[in-house]
Chain A
């Protein structure tokens, strides 16, 4: 990968008006296009939606991109989405980077369009800088122990344990009292059907 010249695509998301209502995404896109190694900038209404993801895949193919920066929401929501997306486009999923210009920017600086736009530009420049030195990674795969620990033997724990056990999995149901049942077992009838709790 290092021998290959860097070709970065930046995808700036409007998120409807969630971002574009505060941040001048047109300006952010223009700014991104001038950053080193950025060869394609696409502004999307909703980057996470199918059309937005198609734009990414299309741009990767058309511009032979080897790094992708998505300026949109928190990576805690859509990083998996975009990792899958670039993987579909033939890139290693670790070659995508997100700039959080929604939760950390447009939503918290609603009344200051100028400052929010400047901040969004910084976050994009920071993400592009990081993207330039990202490396492909291989995820390790580990086996899963086919058993579940359910802590608490009230109605929630009992129901969970039964569902899992009926599905063929071994369950350890841990209850600190001498009997399962929890608070539910101390109730008389339960609403709205007025049937017995036990």
Chain B
């Protein structure tokens, strides 16, 4: 921590949150808000005079609320930067009757109630997401009496109680009467490995953490007796089994079985734990002074204050456990699907300190590769303009999620200008252009049409033409494959970078060629890798549905689905459902619609734009 604080090339931005990230690999721009600390951290000497006079007492979050702090406080003794911080929420100085006692005693005059938030605009080549996890809150399921019995504590609270820097200076006391607990029980898998309660996965660290805590306890109080209630002990890492053995040798009792009931002994705050020992097949009753819940790790929740989370800002997808999804689970374990973004630590999955440090090194290595190269090649999948066809309608500029198109000017006769560095290749402009003046490199109209022809060349009645976006739905199909989920063989997927690329013309072409059923699939709205391009997909499909209705073609023959890269199971299920739908399409209706469409000329038609431009578009929930 100290090293990071004093490194000449690390700018430490504490009290800060990232509000927006734009740009592309090698060229990101981050908007960071540094909240006012009200104490100049360069000047503060941590003398602590301010703290002495501060009249406000609030629970100390660093000590898990087991002790209190003042409104002006040092977060913890080894804090970096080593400077006090003023908690604006609880300080009285902001009231009309200002307190201001701290101001008076601060010799260095480094407290400033008028300090304002600072907004910083940073240019960076790479982003490493190390936003961590949250500890499971056992109040959700009160099975072990955490909210009812004072002597039931979490493993985090136990950490503070036994820590020399904790609220009791390392003397372990139990909350009810401050007596030293000598009979301590540890319940494993609290919130973990349960489909009904908490989360279904193993939180990875709790077994070893408990083993460590039993050894700390044995070390502090040799006369103590610990009991661990477990499903199975997972001591899989280097040196772990040794530690487990040491704990057993230190006399710690390991009971295979989780407590059935926990209650307080009559007239006492001792705890009575009833447990089935599944190794002996007997019911046992243990009287304990304290019970520690080995709480698991859960993904960090959204901010909840209306601010966008980092995951939302970077359009990060999540695996079914709620942690962020890697570009590849084995081959690119620290890469995000978005180039130039990497993961380190528990944001990706629960892990211990060693694995976190290892992964951080890997993420730094990946990021350093990019930075050291000094330049980056961008895939040639950007938009191109056919100036002869352009009618200067300006729709392309208005639909571009990246503002990469400088608007055409009809009066001046200026064509739209495409900023190639800003174009991410989603293809929404190409799909929305009513005059077919825009095409995409490597995802050109004629290339996609050729793929449709290839699929429908023979026996089209048995085929579903599917369009899938590169990031989510196509990857969801890959996920189904990797998981060996079986589904009927009727669908053939065409990959586009974004579902926003799927031109009306592609869909009409498929129906003209006798496709019984067409699928368009993309990312969930919050996952869209092209900001809001997927909203244009939705609008376009809705327009096509109503057009189909008018033409007398069953709109059900065009399906729209949002499938994320992690949703292999959903992908397989959708393919099952589509296959059933396919069976209901008759050769006669396909023939009829082919005849209807042969007479119609259906290219793109101008999209219905909201009156005040893109910003007014409300995300459509699916």
Chain A residues near B (Cβ < 8 Å): 74-77, 94, 100, 102-105, 107-112, 115-116, 118-119, 122-123, 125-130, 132-135, 137-194, 197-198
C-alpha gap A104/B483 in the complex (Å): 11
B454 and A129 contacting across the interface, CB-CB below 8 Å = yes
C-alpha gap A163/B26 in the complex (Å): 18
Given contacts A157-B360, A160-B360, 8 further A-B contacts (CB under 8 A): A126-B494, A130-B451, A145-B27, A145-B125, A152-B129, A156-B347, A174-B32, A178-B15
A-B contact pairs, 27 of them (CB 8 A): A74-B474, A74-B478, A76-B328, A108-B481, A108-B487, A112-B489, A125-B455, A126-B494, A134-B442, A140-B421, A143-B27, A145-B125, A146-B371, A154-B356, A156-B356, A166-B7, A173-B12, A175-B12, A175-B15, A179-B14, A182-B132, A187-B159, A188-B162, A191-B211, A192-B237, A192-B238, A193-B239
A124's nearest neighbour on chain B, judged by CB, is B454
Chain A residues with CB under 8 A of B127: 148-151
C-alpha gap A57/B75 in the complex (Å): 62
Contact of B11 among A141, A158, A162, A172 (CB under 8 A): A172
Contact of A125 among B25, B347, B457, B489 (CB under 8 A): B457
Within B343-371, which residues are at the interface with A (CB < 8 Å)?
Answer: 344-347, 352-353, 356-357, 359-361, 363-365, 367-368, 370-371
A18's nearest neighbour on chain B, judged by CB, is B481
Within B19-53, which residues are at the interface with A (CB < 8 Å)?
Answer: 21, 25-28, 30, 32, 37
Contact of A191 among B12, B212, B372, B489 (CB under 8 A): B212
Nearest Cβ on chain A to B263's Cβ, whole angstroms = 29
B28's nearest neighbour on chain A, judged by CB, is A149
Contact of B450 among A133, A145, A192 (CB under 8 A): A133
Chain B residues with CB under 8 A of A197: 353
A144 and B360 contacting across the interface, CB-CB below 8 Å = no
| Contact segment of B281-289, B374-382, B428-436, B547-555 | B374-382
Nearest Cβ on chain A to B155's Cβ, whole angstroms = 10
Contact of B132 among A115, A144, A152, A192 (CB under 8 A): A152
A181 and B243 contacting across the interface, CB-CB below 8 Å = no
B17's nearest neighbour on chain A, judged by CB, is A176
Chain B residues with CB under 8 A of A102: 481
Nearest Cβ on chain B to A188's Cβ, whole angstroms = 4
Chain A residues with CB under 8 A of B475: 76
Within B459-479, which residues are at the interface with A (CB < 8 Å)?
Answer: 463, 470, 474-475, 477-478
A107's nearest neighbour on chain B, judged by CB, is B481
Closest 7 CB pairs of A and B: A156-B345, A103-B481, A126-B454, A163-B364, A137-B380, A159-B360, A144-B26
Nearest Cβ on chain A to B118's Cβ, whole angstroms = 13
A167 and B454 contacting across the interface, CB-CB below 8 Å = no
Interface assignment of B495: CB less than 8 Å from any CB of chain A: yes
Chain B residues with CB under 8 A of A110: 484, 486
Chain A residues with CB under 8 A of B37: 178
B78 and A198 contacting across the interface, CB-CB below 8 Å = yes
C-alpha gap A148/B124 in the complex (Å): 5
* CB contact under 8 A between A148 and B126, given known A160-B364, A163-B361, A192-B237: yes
A192 and B130 contacting across the interface, CB-CB below 8 Å = no
B447 and A133 contacting across the interface, CB-CB below 8 Å = yes
Interface assignment of B446: CB less than 8 Å from any CB of chain A: yes
A98's nearest neighbour on chain B, judged by CB, is B495
B10 and A173 contacting across the interface, CB-CB below 8 Å = yes
Nearest Cβ on chain B to A80's Cβ, whole angstroms = 10
Chain A residues with CB under 8 A of B356: 154-156, 159
C-alpha gap A194/B250 in the complex (Å): 15
Chain B residues with CB under 8 A of A177: 14-15, 75
A156 and B132 contacting across the interface, CB-CB below 8 Å = yes
Interface assignment of B70: CB less than 8 Å from any CB of chain A: no
B76 and A103 contacting across the interface, CB-CB below 8 Å = no
Question: Secondary structure of the B side of the interface?
Answer: mixed
B124 and A145 contacting across the interface, CB-CB below 8 Å = yes
Contact of B26 among A76, A125, A145, A178 (CB under 8 A): A145
Q: Which of A109, A142, A144, A184 has the most CB of B within 10 A?
A: A144
| Contact segment of B79-87, B188-196, B608-616 | B79-87
Nearest Cβ on chain B to A14's Cβ, whole angstroms = 16
C-alpha gap A103/B333 in the complex (Å): 19
Interface assignment of B215: CB less than 8 Å from any CB of chain A: yes
B239 and A192 contacting across the interface, CB-CB below 8 Å = yes
Interface assignment of B426: CB less than 8 Å from any CB of chain A: no
Q: Which of B28, B124, B160 has the most CB of A within 10 A?
A: B124
Nearest Cβ on chain B to A22's Cβ, whole angstroms = 10
A133 and B13 contacting across the interface, CB-CB below 8 Å = no
C-alpha gap A158/B444 in the complex (Å): 45
Interface assignment of B301: CB less than 8 Å from any CB of chain A: no
A151 and B129 contacting across the interface, CB-CB below 8 Å = yes
C-alpha gap A173/B108 in the complex (Å): 27
C-alpha gap A100/B476 in the complex (Å): 13
A167 and B368 contacting across the interface, CB-CB below 8 Å = yes
Interface assignment of B1: CB less than 8 Å from any CB of chain A: yes
Contact of B124 among A109, A141, A147 (CB under 8 A): A147
B211's nearest neighbour on chain A, judged by CB, is A191
Nearest Cβ on chain A to B567's Cβ, whole angstroms = 14
Nearest Cβ on chain B to A160's Cβ, whole angstroms = 4
Q: Which of A112, A153, A160 has the most CB of B within 10 A?
A: A160
Nearest Cβ on chain A to B3's Cβ, whole angstroms = 6
C-alpha gap A182/B14 in the complex (Å): 11
Chain A residues with CB under 8 A of B243: 191-192, 194
* CB contact under 8 A between A129 and B453, given known A112-B489, A188-B159, A197-B353: yes
C-alpha gap A166/B212 in the complex (Å): 32
A190's nearest neighbour on chain B, judged by CB, is B353
A108 and B364 contacting across the interface, CB-CB below 8 Å = no
Contact of B9 among A77, A141, A168, A190 (CB under 8 A): A168
Contact of B477 among A103, A138, A178, A188 (CB under 8 A): A103
Contact of B16 among A74, A103, A175 (CB under 8 A): A175
B328 and A77 contacting across the interface, CB-CB below 8 Å = yes
Chain B residues with CB under 8 A of A193: 239
Chain A residues with CB under 8 A of B122: 147, 149, 172
Nearest Cβ on chain A to B551's Cβ, whole angstroms = 27
Interface assignment of B128: CB less than 8 Å from any CB of chain A: yes
Nearest Cβ on chain A to B346's Cβ, whole angstroms = 7
Chain B residues with CB under 8 A of A173: 4, 10-13
Interface assignment of B572: CB less than 8 Å from any CB of chain A: yes
Chain B residues with CB under 8 A of A148: 124-128, 367, 371
Q: Which of B76, B126, B572 has the most CB of A within 10 A?
A: B126
C-alpha gap A141/B613 in the complex (Å): 32
C-alpha gap A194/B452 in the complex (Å): 62
Nearest Cβ on chain A to B221's Cβ, whole angstroms = 15
* CB contact under 8 A between A179 and B79, given known A144-B370, A146-B125: yes
Interface assignment of B97: CB less than 8 Å from any CB of chain A: no
Within B311-365, which residues are at the interface with A (CB < 8 Å)?
Answer: 328, 331, 344-347, 352-353, 356-357, 359-361, 363-365
Chain B residues with CB under 8 A of A145: 26-28, 123-125
